[in-house]
Structure 1
Amino acid sequence: MKRKLLFSTLALLCFGGNALAGGPSADGNYHALYQAAPGASAEVAQVGCTEDLGCGCETPCDCDVAACEPDCGADALVGCDVGCDAGCDGGCDSGCGCGFGNGFFSKLGGCDLGEPFALFGECGNLSAGGWVQMGYHTDALPLFNSRPDEYQLHQAWLWAEKAIDTSCGFDIGGRIDYIYGTDSQDTQAFGIDNNHWDNDWDNGPDYGHAMPQLYLEAGYGDLSVKVGHFYTIIGWEVVTAPDNFFYSHAYTMYNSEPFTHTGALATLAVSEDVEVYGGYTFGWDSGFEDNGDSFLGGVSLALNEDISLIYATVAGRFADKGGNTEKGYMHSIVADVALTDSLQYIFQSDYLDTENQNDAGVRNTFGINQYLIYTLSDCLAAGTRFEWYNQEGVFSAYGTETDIFALTMGVNYKPHANVVVRPEIRFDWDDDLVAGLDEGEEQTTFGIDTIFLF
């Protein structure tokens, strides 16, 4: 136990300090923020053409302020050389387009993501895209990464969407997602007892196809409603690889949270800082049929510029698989805190309590996940995750209670705007031997994957 506490303490301290941009958002959309470098540079150039750069420089570097003031847009980028180029060597090392930020990292060189490319791109409110994720890990983890010592295709993903725009009143849109790879069978409608929807789209024991999202969305003003098959709002980690910091997943996400729902979900923006959700679903991970009756809802709060809080819950009948009905309640609470401009802290707590009618069994879990994301530049970020997972009736026979611990440390490196490389090292402890680790009570796993976006 002392060793576990030592590792957890080191994990939460080893990435402290000052650097640059923030980490993932509360909804897990890390990729969207991590790819925002081109737009961010343009914004810095505009600020750089004023008397105060707002980036640690008392003077506007080598920029002629008078020449720039009439047009601080694209011309400023050329005329002022991004406002801070010369200042990097003279003290302007706050990271506004000038390499890796403060101190040691500013000497490592600049970060050039290049221009992102897209096979499909956008046309008005219509957009389409995808990615390919391939990875390797040394040991099996019963959390998606279950094929050790094998370079594998996890996700070959395609999506298409018509986003709604309610600025002028009513609008309607929708989205469809398709996946092929080893992650597909974990994203199918496996909550049903038959092979309806995509539950039998398998290609051998591990590979297969899935359609995890197919929904229509309508909106008017601050209210929107999804109807169809869509991802859950529970938790911080998600199925889509580009929207997670780590290659591997948490026990909580895989064993105690739904992945998809079928039903209807409404979202209301009460104010700029408050959103509420509420809807009806056919249980967990089910297709287009009545396999459960549950409420899905929650609330998102922006407490201030640096702290956001999300509470999401599912309650009711989760599944009726082969006449074996499971019902109960679960919730996730996620706090996302910007400790500095470069250091993001995420705290997540999940609670699940269900019972099975046929054999009077229970499934009760409680988990705490903590993340630190430390962004060194637009091209490089480091992170750590420590999880405590307490479960009863998940891995083993009902009535068995156990604690599982996992510490993950990893890096996200972007050599290009369309490429993410995620090496990591992970330590798991399971004294009761119920988690299915390859190495028994303790396991050290090295993993690395690459995501190509288009």
Structure 2
Amino acid sequence: MKLSKIAMLAAIACASYTSSMTASANDTIELVSHCAAACDCGEPVCGCEPVDACADACADNCDAGGCGLGDCLGGGCDGGCDSGCGCGLGGCLDGLCGDCCLGEQWSLFDGCCLDDCGISVGGWLQYGYVSKANSLFNSYDHGQLNQAWIYAERAIDTSCGFDIGGRVDYMYGTDSQDTQAFGTDPRGWDNGWDNGGNYGRAMPQLYLEAGYGDLSVKAGHFYTIIGWEVVTAPDNFFYSHAYTMYNSEPFTHTGILATYNVSDNVTVYGGWTEGWDSGFDDNGDNFIGGLSVGLSDALTVTYATVAGRFGEARFNGVEKGYMQSIVADLAVSDNLQYIFQTDFLDTEDAVGDTVRNTFDINQYLIYSFNDCWAAGGRFEWYNQEGVYSANETDIYALTLGVNYKPHANVIVRPEVRWDWDDDQVAGLEDGEDQTTFAVDTIFLF
């Protein structure tokens, strides 16, 4: 199987230049605005004719939140500009979604004196319900406070030369025990901050960052660059997580990571860390790096890798090897986004026996109707050896969901998920398959 996986990886690597990928700590899905085109009334947009009379109204509408697809398909520019709040697909389909007026996003810390120093403070509350636990962050099957999160950050600005900044994150909730530095158990940075069997606290980031020109360097405890899904709830489309993200990717690292923007379209990463999900203590030593290339305005491909000694406590012994993630992000249209991801992980213990050997393909398709409504699907094939069982098995999962934003500070994410496991190794409640209903709400502040 290892040889077939490597052959498939080679084919995917070649094909990835015709697909689309990105690995980012901020994966929020936003509608690509029609404002620039729709409000230039001298140019046709999506087939609508130029209407000079709407130019001023369009400008006002853009300031209020932007023009949507309704401008193109729902009566031309006049219909879009007269709405005053910005218009979405509802303007095209007889009010299916209605006008989308998110309003201004507010913060509890607006006007704070920290603003004068370039420091931003914010956070969110995430509360959700899961009908059946899946042990992929959602640890039990009833309502739960997943994340009560607060952060403080001074982002660097190297436009005028050298600058220094940093960030600290603190959280409480059921996601905390999966976000702590559990890789060095029983030691660890925050591994003992539990509150009962499911709740606890964590400090998933604490780092300094310095930069000059196109080069920046982080030093401390920070999120990984591996994969597409992330820990921070507002930056994912779905409430639930993929098997790949939870079982085959690191969440955090402690060490040094440099980022160099070669050009507007090429970014290079490289650094050294103390293994996976470790704190400020000796748990491992590995290289972490990658390359992100914008092949066109619509297509970005990112390759990221970790190689070396991943940890000595997480699996009660040495785990060393290689892991890579390839993510392609393609804007099929202004409203439709396709993401393709494949990871490969191969590790062994001190005597050369397999610890984990996994391969996967994750695909996401997300359609944004307007700034308030989006619908998406995720399909995952997860091939594992050493995670759920010593034998090679396949697990599949299909997730369908909706994102609704009634306000700029609120996100509601209902979803339904189907899991299949013919070998019954993943612990599904129904044996070979499981259907899960879930919904969460995120309040940003």
Above 0.5 in TM-score?
yes
TM-score normalized by structure 1?
0.85
Which residue, out of 444, 447, 454, partners 2:438?
447
In the alignment, structure 1 residue 346 sits paired with structure 2 residue 339: yes
Letter in 2 for 1:382: A
Pairwise CA distance, 1:289: 1.1
Gap change, CA 1:83 and 1:28, over 3 Å in 2: closer
Gap change, CA 1:105 and 1:24, over 3 Å in 2: farther
Alignment correspondent of 1:139: 132
| Bigger mean CA offset, 53-62 vs 318-327 | 53-62
For the residues of structure 1 that align with 2:98 and 2:247, how far apart are their CA atoms? Answer: 42
Letter in 1 for 2:337: Q
Pairwise CA distance, 1:438: 1.3
For the residues of structure 2 that align with 1:265 and 1:214, how far apart are their CA atoms? Answer: 13
Gap change, CA 1:375 and 1:327, over 3 Å in 2: same
CA distances 1:58-94 after superposition (whole Å, capped 9, x unpaired): 233642x5xx49xx9669859xx97999987523499
Which residue, out of 58, 68, 76, partners 1:91?
76
Alignment correspondent of 1:293: 285
Alignment correspondent of 1:167: 159
CA distances 1:141-189 after superposition (whole Å, capped 9, x unpaired): 02011201x1110000001100000011100000000110000000000
Letter in 1 for 2:89: F
Which residue, out of 20, 24, 34, partners 1:27?
24
- Identity percentage over the alignment? 63
For the residues of structure 2 that align with 1:242 and 1:94, how far apart are their CA atoms? Answer: 32
Check whether the contact 1:56–1:94 (CA below 8 A) recurs between aligned residues.
Answer: no
Secondary structure in 1 matching 2:246: helix
CA distances 1:272-314 after superposition (whole Å, capped 9, x unpaired): 1100000000000000011101000000000000110000000
Which residue, out of 325, 345, 351, partners 2:318?
325
Residue correspondence of structure 1 range 195-274 to structure 2 within 5 A? 195-274=187-266
Which residue, out of 407, 424, 427, partners 2:398?
407
In the alignment, structure 1 residue 426 sits paired with structure 2 residue 417: yes
Secondary structure in 2 matching 1:253: helix
Unaligned runs of at least 5 residues, structure 2: 1-19
Alignment correspondent of 1:112: 101
Check whether the contact 1:55–1:92 (CA below 8 A) recurs between aligned residues.
Answer: no
Check whether the contact 1:172–1:216 (CA below 8 A) recurs between aligned residues.
Answer: yes
Number of equivalences? 416
Gap change, CA 1:412 and 1:93, over 3 Å in 2: farther
For the residues of structure 1 that align with 2:369 and 2:323, how far apart are their CA atoms? Answer: 36
Pairwise CA distance, 1:244: 0.4
TM-score normalized by structure 2?
0.86
For the residues of structure 2 that align with 1:224 and 1:27, how far apart are their CA atoms? Answer: 16
* Shift >6 Å, 4+ stretches: 81-88, 93-96
For the residues of structure 2 that align with 1:255 and 1:191, how far apart are their CA atoms? Answer: 13
Pairwise CA distance, 1:108: 3.8
Letter in 1 for 2:265: D
Q: RMSD value over aligned CA atoms?
A: 2.9
Unaligned runs of at least 5 residues, structure 1: 1-22
Gap change, CA 1:135 and 1:60, over 3 Å in 2: same
| Bigger mean CA offset, 354-363 vs 283-292 | 354-363
CA distances 1:300-355 after superposition (whole Å, capped 9, x unpaired): 00000011000000000000228711100000000001111111100000000000
Alignment correspondent of 1:15: none
CA distances 1:406-426 after superposition (whole Å, capped 9, x unpaired): 000000011111100000000
Gap change, CA 1:77 and 1:273, over 3 Å in 2: closer
Secondary structure in 2 matching 1:366: strand
Secondary structure in 2 matching 1:255: helix
Alignment correspondent of 1:382: 375
For the residues of structure 1 that align with 2:313 and 2:94, how far apart are their CA atoms? Answer: 54
Secondary structure in 2 matching 1:258: coil
Pairwise CA distance, 1:451: 0.5
Letter in 2 for 1:418: N
